[in-house]
Chain A
Amino acid sequence: MERFILSACVAVHIALCGVSVLTAQEAPTYDDNALRLDGRLGDVRIVRGAEGTVVGKISSFRGIDVAKLVSSSEKATIEAKKFEHDYGPGTWLASLGIATLGVWIGVTRIGDVNHSITTGLLFVGAGSLVYGAGRMQSAYNALSRSIWWYNRDLK
């Protein structure tokens, strides 16, 4: 009975220590897991590790769930949510601005159009474009900060 208790204590202890060693070995490393951005014409890719495995693409009207990707880091998640908050509206407003400016160019080619219409189209188009670009810029800055925090918490 006494030997059984002794053996049981040792076995449980070794088992528990074994788990902790395994956890330490499986901790994520910067080389394998750190994220960075890789720009392509038309989209931005989030790549992981030194090998540059693509884990997500952010194109004009669709993105990935960045908050989920960086969920292991609290501050990275907060910044990722800022990115998601700004990116969608920014893209749509910038696109609306470009489309409106296209209409403005078309309308100015037509001869008999009220001058106030063309001026209004120009201001609305340029305003939407600039505001949308500003939102997109804020979004990408938040994405950059999010990735920075995520990589920081890997260390």
Chain B
Amino acid sequence: MKTILFRALFLGATVSAATAGAQTIGHAAPPVASSESGTSVASARAATPNDSSRSYDAQALRVESRWGSIDIIRGVNGPVVGTVGWFRKFDVEKLVESSPQATTAAHEFKSNNFRGSLIGGLGATTLVAGAILTSNSSSNAASPMLMVVGAGAMLWGGQLLNKGYSALSRSMWWYNRDLARNTIAPSSAGNPSTPRDRAVPAEPKPPVTR
């Protein structure tokens, strides 16, 4: 009876070890970008989900609005790495250049933000001019038209700004998504570098198995 129990335990331990190995393979992080040096491959194998979380905590971007402008913040309590808004010229594309999809979305943001700022600004000016003319009891029929045109331009500008901010949100999403795939090296976990400092893969990355 004791022999049988021992055999059962031994068999159980063997199956358990085999299963654990299979799970480790399933959770292995994808190869990191730069395979030019052998160290990156070794570090990729040593990666754990904790590396991914640490990287996200330190590097992932988010946005917070502040009276007409939007701060881009890095990490949990990280610094403000840039401010975007009406006529602000912060280069979001450069910030997220390590992720191709994020860069595309950042370009869309830049385009819409500029056009939205311009059209919205012109609309606001026209609306105010129309309001001043109307309040001065001007009998000119053009003054109400100025207000209508100004309001319309403001709405159009607002729509463009809205599209721009959606693109910015998408850009952050893609950038944060690619952080886990790009950042693996344990040596850099304690002193994380910005993603742009890391090598970026030229080819599409393989899907991650979690």
Which residues of A are at the interface with B, using a C-beta cutoff of 8 A? 2, 5-6, 9-10, 13-14, 17, 20-21, 24-25, 27-31, 34, 36-41, 50, 137, 140-141, 144-145, 148, 151-152, 155
- A57 CA / B102 CA spacing, docked (Å): 24
Contact of A155 among B27, B56, B66 (CB under 8 A): B56
Other contacts beyond A34-B173, A34-B177, A152-B53: 18, CB < 8 A: A9-B9, A10-B15, A13-B11, A13-B12, A13-B15, A28-B210, A29-B208, A29-B210, A30-B176, A38-B170, A39-B163, A39-B165, A41-B155, A137-B65, A145-B62, A151-B176, A152-B57, A152-B60
**Shortest Cβ distance from B84 into chain A, in angstroms?**
14
- A27 CA / B23 CA spacing, docked (Å): 12
Task: Knowing A9-B8, A30-B180, A141-B65, say if A14 contacts B15 (CB, 8 Å).
Answer: yes
**Shortest Cβ distance from A102 into chain B, in angstroms?**
13
Q: Residues 149-192 of chain B: 1 if any A CB is under 8 Å from the residue's CB, otherwise 0?
A: 00000010011001101100110110011001000000000000
Q: Provide the residues of chain B in CB contact with A145, threshold 8 Å.
A: 62, 64
Number of chain B interface residues as a range:
35 or more
Contact: A140 with B16, CB < 8 Å? no
Task: Knowing A2-B4, A152-B57, say if A41 contacts B173 (CB, 8 Å).
Answer: no
